[in-house]
Chain A
Amino acid sequence: MRITGTIPPEDNRILVPVEFKIDAFKLKGSTEFFIDTGSTISFIGESTARKVGLDYSKLLNVGTSAGIGGQADLYEIDGFTRLLFEFDNQQKEIPRKNFLVMKHEFCEHVLPDNRKKILGLGGIFGMDLLKGWKFSIIHSSYSLEI
């Protein structure tokens, strides 16, 4: 399945809309994953986790991640999380075992406004997933084959 689009000039972000289903908790929802070739991992962001009512106390804390805004705790969702893509009347489901969820621990120097911007990220597609796909950018057009 090939997803194509144009990178918006106002923010230069590529956001991929995805419906997801979490088998272990019978939860589902929709969010946008930000394509980030600078991230080694993919994960569901905190606003998305809280939006669908994911309970962090029922997840396994598997470590931390380091970023410019400080560090964040990483939690693992037991079992399969199913990522459903839709583009041009095509659909594709990609099941991922032990998918990750992030919970932020901001450094004191991170302004409240910037904390909220980071919190608002729906999710990240990092290199762990991107290396198995085909992703290209030509000028302001992008193509993602999954």
Chain B
Amino acid sequence: MALKDFKEDREYLNANHDKLMREHKDEFIVVQNKRVVSCGKELQEVLAEARGRIGDAVNDSIVEYLSTRKTEMVV
């Protein structure tokens, strides 16, 4: 099931957050199947690149912005 894989990718991201933060400072990353399939500064470009590499599997990927700035979220 897609959701099971999605949860596993979240667990991968959380477990490797510090390493990924060092490698992708202030970038969007797309994680699918426990690997970063695209990264960059602009969301649209990162998603387009991910879709080009993994096709519709991007729909069930994790999209995360790795910010080095500490900001509290009030939405």
**Residues 42 to 84 of chain A near chain B (Cβ within 8 Å):** 47-48, 50-53, 67-69, 84
- Decide if the interface of chain A is mainly helix, strand, loop or mixed: mixed
Taken together as a complex, chains A and B put the C-alpha atoms of A11 and B60 apart, in Å, by: 23
At the interface with chain B, which of A33-41, A127-135, A136-144?
A33-41
Interface check B73, CB cutoff 8 A:
yes
Taken together as a complex, chains A and B put the C-alpha atoms of A13 and B72 apart, in Å, by: 11
With both chains docked as a complex, state the minimum distance between the C-beta of B56 and any C-beta of chain A, in angstroms: 9
Taken together as a complex, chains A and B put the C-alpha atoms of A81 and B37 apart, in Å, by: 28
The verdict on A119 contacting B6 (CB below 8 Å), with A13-B73, A30-B59 known, is no
Would B43 and A113 count as touching, CB distance under 8 A? no
Taken together as a complex, chains A and B put the C-alpha atoms of A32 and B71 apart, in Å, by: 20
| Total B residues in contact with A, Cβ cutoff 8 Å | 26
The verdict on A86 contacting B1 (CB below 8 Å), with A19-B6, A47-B43, A120-B65 known, is yes
Complex contacts, B73 vs chain A, CB 8 Å: 11, 13, 117
**Residues 1 to 28 of chain A near chain B (Cβ within 8 Å):** 11, 13, 17-19, 27-28
Number of A-B contacts (CB under 8 A): 77
| Total A residues in contact with B, Cβ cutoff 8 Å | 35
Would B2 and A68 count as touching, CB distance under 8 A? no
The verdict on A113 contacting B71 (CB below 8 Å), with A30-B6, A51-B63 known, is yes
Interface check B7, CB cutoff 8 A:
yes
Interface check A146, CB cutoff 8 A:
no
- Which B residue's beta carbon lies closest to that of A69? B75
Taken together as a complex, chains A and B put the C-alpha atoms of A29 and B3 apart, in Å, by: 9
The verdict on A113 contacting B67 (CB below 8 Å), with A19-B3, A34-B75, A124-B75 known, is yes
Complex contacts, A84 vs chain B, CB 8 Å: 3
18 pairs across A/B with beta carbons < 8 Å? Answer: A17-B6, A19-B1, A19-B2, A28-B2, A30-B60, A32-B10, A47-B63, A50-B43, A68-B74, A86-B1, A86-B3, A116-B26, A116-B67, A117-B65, A119-B65, A120-B64, A120-B65, A124-B75
